[in-house]
Amino acid sequence: MTPMFATPTCSERGTRAGGAGFTLLEILLVVAIIGILASVVVLGATDVGRQRTVRAEAERLALAVELARDEARLRNAVWGLLVDGGTYRFKEYDVAGDEWNDVERREFSADASENNIEFVVGQIFENKEADLAELPWLQNNGGGESASGVADAGSDDGTRSPDVVIYPGGEMTPFKITVSAGEGYAAWVARSDGIQRARAVAETDVDAEDEGLREWLHEAGFAR
């Protein structure tokens, strides 16, 4: 009997090459980001609406980081996230030119300045208790480049390097980015320890999570 469904070959099961298509994960993440963006647009200028906007922007940023990790893996490329006040954008590292180029896709940039919302990059380890270059997932990042070398690319010409670097293996520099709308509004934080998924949490919940991570690093011999 002829089978109704053919089994895909190894080549058919391979990862996407170039711009041939999108994975289901990418599609779902893009849909989620666009949905959050739409909610930000329709929220009013009321206190409640403004507070929801802060949370929505933090959630959107966390989803964008995860989408960028997926792209870095599929393209075997190094990506970065550059934060600048009320805006942020993702970049892709050009090995040949030793420079960072903007990713020209809507889901990989945001401008919340018109809503007076600010993104602030913070150190996930207080007092720099851990040397990021010594973290195991950044020592062997799969990109053939040192963590410090890629992060500093482009700095010679005065161009700012990304605040967060994402490697082909999915590892990235640990980060926490605070999203705030000024006094009177609770801040939210998009964060990751560099291995786990980026996610958005209320700022009031961050301290306990950071303490747990610092304890783990201390036990592993990386905290100072």
Measured CA angle at 118 (ends 98, 190), to 5 deg: 70
Enter the tokens of residue 149. 């070398």
Q: pLDDT at position 127, please? A: 39
Domain 24-220 classified CATH 3.40.50.300? no
Cβ–Cβ < 8 Å for 176, 124: yes
Instruction: List beta partners, residue 168.
Output: none
Domain ranges of the chain: 24-220
What letters, b where the CB count within 10 A reaches 16 and e where it falls short, cover 114-123?
ebebbbebee
**Per-residue CA distances from 128 to 19, 73, 119, 131, 214 (Å):** 40, 28, 20, 7, 10
| pLDDT value at residue 183 | 87
> Strands 109-111 and 87-94: what pairing?
antiparallel
DSSP 189: E
Concatenating the DSSP letter of every residue in 94-131 gives ETTTTEEEE---GGGEEE-GGGT-EEEEE-SSGGG-B-
Give the 3-state secondary structure percentages of the chain, helix then strand then coil, rounded to 5: 40, 20, 40
Q: What is the predicted pLDDT for the residue at 64?
A: 96
Which pLDDT score, from 0 to 100, does residue 204 have?
A: 87
Residue by residue, pLDDT tens for the chain (224 residues) are 444 444 444 444 444 544 556 677 777 777 776 666 555 555 445 577 888 999 999 999 999 999 999 999 999 999 999 999 999 999 999 989 889 999 999 889 999 888 889 999 987 654 344 444 555 545 544 444 444 455 555 555 557 889 999 999 989 988 999 999 988 899 999 999 888 899 999 998 876 666 666 666 666 555 44
Quote the pLDDT of residue 36: 61
User: Residue 217: its pLDDT value, please?
Assistant: 62
Q: Find out whether 162 and 154 touch, Cβ atoms under 8 Å.
A: no
